[in-house]
Amino acid sequence: MPTYPTKTLRKTAAFVIAVGLLMLSGRMLWTLKQPEREPKKTPVPLTIESWIYTGQLNDYMRSFEALHPQYHIEVRTFRSQAQLFEELSAAISANAAPDVAEIGGLYGVAQLADSGMIVPLDEKIGAGLWTDLHPAFVSQFTYKQYRWALPFGGEIPAMFYNADLAGHARLTFAQEGTSFPETMQAAKKMTLDVNGDGVTDHWGLAIDTDVPWYLFNWSLNGSNPFGDRDTVMRMLRSWQQLTAGYQVMEPSRHRFALSRFIDGKVGILISSSRKVLLLDQYIGGKFSYGIAPFPLFEGQNYVPNASGLVLLRTEPERERAALAMVNFFADAAVQDSLLRMTGKIPARRSVMERMLTDEKAEPWERTVLGTTNRLVGTQPNVNDIRRWERFSEIAERIELNSGMNLEWVAEELLEYIR
């Protein structure tokens, strides 16, 4: 192995280090002279916070995002419109409201408008669109001469029936509608004590938890919601007969109505037209069922439950973004798919009319859409929430007390109705 003198090694090492330092210094000097390059920045989407109670709207919001990548929709879903309204009221008080919220038309609109935290939409939505929206839906969001939400759809009360049980009882349900007395007679035939032990095994009728909505409809006097003392008394007596007279409905079991119908234990279910999707999912072929219009008294029409989107007050950029999303739900393609996707009737009359003539429309769609020429509007009132609660309380008391005097109840209700 060759050897080198120590001094030579030191000189060589010093030379190498010097050259390296010189090269490094040159590199640093060159680098310092170069202009700094800005790293590429990906634009951050503007977030729109949205609260909904119709879960399928989330899919539409993802479609909106795909069309508008400059926006991101942060969605919070509630189990009911009542829960959303309660949370929204608290969020407004805490100055923590979302940018957009879905609200129902039956109650709460007046309170939200009076809060000063939602934006009137009269000038923000085109006049042509307002004209095309069904007036029964628009009226539910019109308060103090302003429109406070864009209605995108709505639901009507409907009657679902177990077609297998109906067939055994030799019953038919007219798709154009069955009167209240006829429906009660059908429910009576479907109320059965199968084993003869004196206990009802199959009830003819079940009504879900939106009891006040159905009572509102039975309180109509022609197209005037809500009617006079005579129509209110008729409604109260009819409710009393369900348990005490006809004895077709199990008292105070409204929260079990859907599950009992799905299990085949109830012949007729009064619920919302949008529940057809849920029933399809959970019945799943266990039995055949049909849908018919909600039973009314002669000359009556339907009070719908409209769904609308409100804008909460925020900075201008976020408000413009939120308005773009709200307008998206009025798009003809969205409206065309709304009934099949959510069970809600589209709000645009032009779309309703087109769907009614569509040869590919399902029978249940025709049944639901066939009622749209009999929809009547209501306007928001500061008493809406108390009226809803009062109707619910009185209905329960009547169910539990078959001999209840209805005269004073009618007078009390009229104070909330007028």
Mean pLDDT for the chain overall: 89
For 236-250, write each residue's pLDDT tens digit. 999 999 999 899 999
Q: Are strands 305-311 and 100-104 parallel, antiparallel or unpaired?
A: antiparallel
Give the pLDDT confidence score for residue 255 in this predicted structure.
Answer: 96
Residue 20 lies in a domain: no
For 363-399, write each residue's pLDDT tens digit. 999 999 999 999 998 999 999 999 899 999 999 999 9
Closest CA to 84 of 115, 53, 57: 53
Coil, helix or strand for 118? strand
Which residues touch 335 (CB under 8 Å, ≥6 apart)? Answer: 152, 153, 329, 346, 347, 348, 351
For 276-290, write each residue's pLDDT tens digit. 999 999 999 999 999
In angstroms, rounded to a whole number, what is the distance separating the alpha carbons of residues 403 and 356? 46
Residues 364 and 344 in one domain: yes
The boundaries of the domain holding residue 212 are 157-301+383-417
Give the pLDDT confidence score for residue 224 in this predicted structure.
Answer: 63
Residues 406 and 292 in one domain: yes
Instruction: Give the number of domains in the chain.
Output: 2
Number of separate helices (H) and strands (E) present in the chain: 18, 12
Residues 264 and 367 in one domain: no
Residues 52 and 140 in one domain: yes
pTM exceeding the 0.85 threshold for the entire prediction = yes
Residues 191 and 292 in one domain: yes
In angstroms, rounded to a whole number, what is the distance separating the alpha carbons of residues 309 and 84? 12
Distances in Å between the Cα of 258 and the Cα atoms of 107, 124, 190, 205, 289 are: 23, 40, 17, 11, 13
Give percent above pLDDT 70 in the chain: 88
| Cα 144 to the center of its chain, rounded Å | 24
Peptide bond into 180 cis (omega under 30): no
Considering only residues 280 and 178, tell me which one the structure prediction assigns the higher pLDDT: 280
Mean pLDDT for 130-140 is 98
Residue 30 lies in a domain: no
In angstroms, rounded to a whole number, what is the distance separating the alpha carbons of residues 329 and 347? 10
Residues 218 and 251 in one domain: yes
